[in-house]
Structure 1
Amino acid sequence: MRFALLSRLPQRRVLLWQELLSAALDGAPVLLGPPHDTPDPALREKVEVLFVADPPPGSFADWPSVRFVQGLWAGVDGLLADPSLPPEVPLARLKDPAFAGVMAEGVATHVLSLHRQLHRYRAQAALRIWQPLAQPQAAERPVGILGMGELGMAAAGVLASLGFPVMGWSRTGRPVPGVEIHTGEDGLAALLARSQILVNLLPLTDSTAGILDRARLARLPQGACLVNFGRGGHLVLPDLIEALDSGRLDHAVLDVFEPEPLPQESPLWEHGGVTILPHVAAVTDPRSAARIVAANAQRFLAGQEPDGLVRRDLGY
């Protein structure tokens, strides 16, 4: 008994993950942790690999023999915030090309929607106004992407194929074909100044928390739009509302919030300048992800370096 799955997802989703993981591990059993099951302590002590998706806080302490933790999602900020996660145990995030493709599809959907001004036409239709709007070409609408990992590169490729000039900002400044890359604070300022549509795909770390604040939003061109598919902690909500109310920003598409679900009393629900999505920009497909994380776990147990190892100081 070497594997266990920890998750607070609904039971039917957890059971699906359990079935797919076991099949990908050549039939090896996969224990379930609380809240779906509470294995005997003797069994828990045999578990070497934990697969995790939103595990209960503090639950890592119940698995004393764990040698490797594999996330089932691309983001690991929630895991890193759990003090029970042993600092010496390697942690890997999901790296699934299928997930990157889904995220790129989501980014393209909402960039095109903003570019073609569907939010304005919806507002006009609510007032029964029939009024065509001037429509710029895609080549006239620069798009900036914050975060140029697998997700950012996939999104940039799709947007470039649609004719948008694409800029990217990353920690490393690694070149990406067809994308104008920026790095550092000066590079961020330069990218923001030209981004008529800004897409955030950054991981949430100490250095990126609150990165979309009043000062940086003010650097965007007048009437720019924002797509936040990173994390809610990247965005300072009062500063966003101020930018929308002043007309500095035209519209914001928000898929992530802090906390989630978005509280009923949040002013965002009734703000005409905001499109709210319930964290659905890119959803992990267990069918592809289970094969990838199972192979990664087997790679670790065979003494090989697993893919997607997380630098805990950076969150990726």
Structure 2
Amino acid sequence: MTVNILFAAKAERWDSYRTPLTAALRAAGIDFDLRTDFAPADVDYIVYAPNSTVQDFTPYTRLRAVLNLWAGVEDVVDNDTLHVPLARMVDHGLTQGMIEWVTGHVLRHHLEMDKHLFGQDGVWRTHVPPLAQDRPVTILGMGELGRACAATLAGLGFPVTGWGRTARTVPDVTTCHGANGLDAALSQAQILVLLLPDTPATANILSADTLAMLPRGAHILNPGRGTLIDDTDLLAALDSGHIARATLDVFRTEPLPANHPYWAHPKVTVTPHIASATRETSASRVIAENIRRGEAGEPFLNLVDRSLGY
């Protein structure tokens, strides 16, 4: 029996996904029809981007699952019309991209590279940064991406502490959880990496009170979600010198407006939401495997817990 798969995303995404997704579905041995224009009642699976035109799932009466193209599901998880399994995107390309961005910027901050990149003023500065073993790093968010980044940084010799809602075990990484664990995780973080999901519980988790828990001179990296940081409080902490520098990849409004204070702030580096992008070829294999599982009656991968929001 032919499986009808609706690709619901922006037109440019269809142009880039059509070929690799077709190849992945064929390789998985699925008899399929992949289109952008099915009648809703004929659709078995939706390959989905939350910014697509599909917002009401009610007409999709035989829908078996929604397979998100993004790691983030905050724009769809609370949709009251969605009553089938929702899978978020977890794939090698996303994970490896995040590892590379986080590792690169942690090393940049650790080695204080900006002093040399932007301080070419004829002054011979002989300050030597500490070794990695003396630069504690804390990662807030110990999901798939957080654990992968923590393991990589620990392998480079950084003392790494991870924090999340639930206890996790990662070799060579100190893990904390719960409110008391957050205090402990922040208090020793010379470099803080934010990799939490966007949920009501994580909104503004970095605000005046929690910023004050960080050691003076701490550096902040946010490749997670823009809502994790109270922007006004971070700017104040940067201006006071309590926070030395911030590198931010995600924002409440994207693209970041040209008049936003982050652009002109001398202690802020803006990157345009590039820390972890979906790669079409590897993501297509993940989608095809989930459809194969659905047709075989096997459990879907990477299912979202709707009660937690991720």
Counterpart Cα distance in 2 of 1:116 and 1:80: 40
Alignment partner, residue 92 of structure 2: 97
Counterpart Cα distance in 2 of 1:213 and 1:76: 23
Match of 1:207, SS state, is coil
Alignment partner, residue 212 of structure 2: 218
Give me the CA root mean square deviation: 1.7
Name the stretch that deviates more: 64-73 or 183-192: 64-73
Please state if 1:158 is matched with 2:155: no
Identical-residue share of aligned pairs (%): 41
Match of 2:170, SS state, is coil
Any idea what the Cα deviations from partners look like across 1:229-255, whole Å, max 9, x if unmatched? Answer: 110011100000000000010000100
Alignment partner, residue 127 of structure 2: 133
Q: 1:203 to 1:273 in 2, by over 3 A?
A: same
Deviation at 1:96, TM superposition (A): 1.0
TM-score of the superposed pair, with normalisation by structure 1: 0.91
Match of 1:113, SS state, is helix
Deviation at 1:203, TM superposition (A): 0.8
The residue identity in structure 2 corresponding to 1:17 is Y
Alignment partner, residue 36 of structure 1: none
2:265 to 271, 279, 287: 271
Contact 1:47 1:63 in 2 (8 A): no
TM-score of the superposed pair, with normalisation by structure 2: 0.92
User: Structure 2 regions of 5+ residues with no counterpart?
Assistant: none
Alignment partner, residue 35 of structure 1: none
Contact 1:25 1:294 in 2 (8 A): yes
Please state if 1:45 is matched with 2:41: yes
Please state if 1:77 is matched with 2:74: yes
Alignment partner, residue 24 of structure 1: 24
Alignment partner, residue 55 of structure 1: 51
User: Structure 1 regions of 5+ residues with no counterpart?
Assistant: 33-38
Deviation at 1:62, TM superposition (A): 7.1
Alignment partner, residue 276 of structure 2: 282
Contact 1:124 1:130 in 2 (8 A): no
The residue identity in structure 2 corresponding to 1:124 is G
Contact 1:22 1:29 in 2 (8 A): no
The residue identity in structure 1 corresponding to 2:9 is S
Any idea what the Cα deviations from partners look like across 1:43-67, whole Å, max 9, x if unmatched? Answer: 3321110011243365334752322
Counterpart Cα distance in 1 of 2:285 and 2:187: 42
Counterpart Cα distance in 2 of 1:172 and 1:141: 25
The residue identity in structure 1 corresponding to 2:72 is G
The residue identity in structure 1 corresponding to 2:128 is A
Name the stretch that deviates more: 99-108 or 57-66: 57-66
Please state if 1:209 is matched with 2:206: no
Contact 2:57 2:82 in 1 (8 A): no
Deviation at 1:20, TM superposition (A): 1.8
Match of 2:125, SS state, is coil
The residue identity in structure 2 corresponding to 1:29 is D
Alignment partner, residue 247 of structure 2: 253
Aligned residues: 303
Please state if 1:4 is matched with 2:16: no
Q: 1:30 to 1:130 in 2, by over 3 A?
A: farther
Residue pairs, 1:221-232, within 5 angstroms: 221-232=215-226
Alignment partner, residue 115 of structure 2: 120
Counterpart Cα distance in 1 of 2:263 and 2:286: 37
Any idea what the Cα deviations from partners look like across 1:175-227, whole Å, max 9, x if unmatched? Answer: 21110000011100001000000001111111111111111111000000000
